[in-house]
Amino acid sequence: MRELDSSTTLNTKYISPERGGTLKYDPNVDNTIATNQGWLENTRRQNRFEQFRQQSAAQFRSLEVLILREIERNADDKRNDHTYTFDCILGQINSLLPAISLVRSDKGFSIQSKVGEPIPEEHISSGESELIALAIEVLVFSRSETSNKILLLDEPDVHLHPDLQHRFIGFVELIAIEQGIKVVIATHSTAIISAFSEGSDLSIVPVSHKSQSQFSSFRRSNVCDEILPIFGVHPLSSIFNRSPVVLVEGEDDKRVLEQAIRSSDGRLRLSPCVVGTVSELNEWEAWLNQFLPVIYDEPKGYSLRDLDDSSQCEIEDLGVVCRIRINCYSIENLLLTEECLNHHGFTEESLKREIIKWKEQFALHQSAAEMSILILIR
């Protein structure tokens, strides 16, 4: 990301978090925007403004003018490309909307279903209104005749379910790259963070409270990609928010824990997350300790290690991460502990008798040799 010189004049646009109103063209709003130069910017400084969507609808007419001017300024490129019209820009907005479409009209635009039936503005959903308003705001600002543009989006995920959040971020990223603008997003949504492409120039800055003065940042990595779903990136994974994450070293550890969770009848609530090697485990533990307090008020995470890297079972916690080392070299060995055998109604001798009986019945089974070794070990 190119750093700006301290003397550089920045041109910003702030999109407030509470965006009220109806997505309907209001000539009075349009007139106020035209005659009162500071009105649009000043009203956006409020946490909630009831005419936000009317402002967005009014700016749609300005967007058409900006695109036509863009074509005029770039006569060699744009005029000769007859496929580049204002309808292309309208198509970018409509690509965000799965059930409705915008159609150009005398008042700017009208709304219709995908089969062409007119729909009054007040009958579309809040999420659809949000997407249209936000898309117009982004497009208008990206085409403004200024340089060093920074778009400030405050909680763009309001009223948007995760799939629509994903669509919107893809749209914002594309416009930012095409038009050379910078975007700063304030959000509580992990779906927003995960929606950016893997190669995006993205820096994430966690903020835990308003008085915070020291800020650390991190970039997207394999840690983020693996661990973000635990905190509800996918719409079906919100249940994990009630179950603390537990880092494990491999798929075997995860399968054992998942079976234990299923068998606990709700008494054991964890979300296993496979990490990999011990060195990676250190990195992930540090990540959790740094960012769990940003996500939750009373955070708790767990990390489960095998005995592979140490002869000592005891290990100290790392901040909010409770670190546990099992007293064996493979988690499957826990299945043969006295506690586990007793839980399933076995003693060491009764387990041996059951194994011998099983061997007699299934002498040609592919695991018969391993079961013989198991008897000798026990």
Least confident among 67-76, 151-160, 244-253: 67-76
186 lies in the same domain as 275: no
Listed in sequence order, the residues at least 6 apart from 256 whose beta carbon sits closer than 8 Å to its beta carbon are 331, 332, 334, 335
279 and 155 in one domain?
no
> In this structure, are 127 and 66 located in the same domain?
yes
Task: Please report the pLDDT score of residue 233 as a whole number.
Answer: 45
Q: CA 87 to CA 58: how far, in whole Å?
A: 18
pLDDT at 239: 38
Same-domain status, 35 and 155: yes
Count the domains in the chain.
Answer: 3
Q: Does some domain include residue 23? A: yes
Q: Which of 151, 185, 202 is the last residue of a domain?
A: 202
Same domain, residue pair 105 and 17: yes
Shared domain check, 99 and 21: yes
Question: Pairing between strand 149-154 and 182-186?
Answer: parallel
Q: For residue 286, give its domain range.
A: 243-334
**Domain ends where: 180, 202, 224?**
202
Q: Is residue 216 part of a domain?
A: no
| pLDDT at residue 136, rounded to an integer | 95
- pLDDT at residue 208 greater than cutoff 80: no
Q: Which residues, in sequence order, are bridge partners of residue 338?
A: none
pLDDT tens-digit map of 125-151: 988 999 999 999 999 999 988 888 999
H/E segment holding residue 321: strand 321-325
If one counts every other C-beta atom within 10 angstroms of the C-beta of residue 351, the result is 17
| Whether pTM exceeds 0.75 | no
Could you report the per-residue pLDDT of 338-367, keeping only the tens digit for each?
888 888 888 888 888 888 899 889 888 888
Residue 240: predicted pLDDT: 39
* 341 in a structural domain: no
How confident is the model at residue 337, as a pLDDT? Answer: 80
| CATH classification of the domain holding 195 | 3.40.50
Residue 151 and residue 247 share a domain = no
Which of 286, 226, 275, 285 has its CA nearest to residue 253? 275
pLDDT of 274 higher than 60:
yes
Residues 315 and 255 in one domain: yes
The whole-number pLDDT of residue 249 equals: 87
Question: What's residue 237's pLDDT?
Answer: 39
pLDDT band at residue 321, thresholds of 50, 70 and 90? very high
Q: Is residue 180 part of a domain?
A: yes
Predicted local distance difference test score (pLDDT) of residue 112: 94
Q: Calculate ∠ Cα 212-217-220, nearest 5°.
A: 145
> Is 207 within a domain?
no
22-47 pLDDT, tens digit per residue, is: 888 899 999 999 999 889 888 888 87
- 258 belongs to a structural domain: yes
3-class DSSP string for the chain: CCCCCCCCCCEEEEECCEECCCCCCCHHHHHHHHHCCCHHHHHCCCCEECCHHHHHHHHHHHHHHHHHHHHHHCHHHHHCCCCCCHHHHHHHHHCCCCCEEEEEECCEEEEEECCCCECCHHHCCHHHHHHHHHHHHHHHHHHCCCCCEEEEEECCCCCCCHHHHHHHHHHHHHHHHHHCCEEEEECCCHHHHHHCCCCCCCCECCCCCCCCCCCCCECCCHHHHHHHHHHCCCHHHHHHHHCCEEEECCHHHHHHHHHHHHHCCCCCCCEEEECCCHHHHHHHHHHHHHHHHHHCCCCCEEEEECCCCCCCCCCCCECCEEEEECCCCCHHHHHHCHHHHHHCCCCHHHHHHHHHHHHHHCCCCCCHHHHHHHHHHC
Q: Within this chain, do residues 159 and 21 fall inside the same structural domain, yes or no? A: yes
Indicate the residue among 177, 202, 227 that finishes a domain.
202
Asked if residue 339 belongs to a domain, the reply is: no
Fill in the DSSP letter of residue 79.
I
Check whether residue 255 and residue 161 sit in a common domain: no
Q: How many residues does the chain have?
A: 378
In a domain? residue 238: no
- 322 with 364, same domain: the answer is no
Compute the average pLDDT of residues 296-300.
75
In this predicted model, which residue has the larger pLDDT, 6 or 202?
202
Residue 303 sits in the same domain as residue 361: no
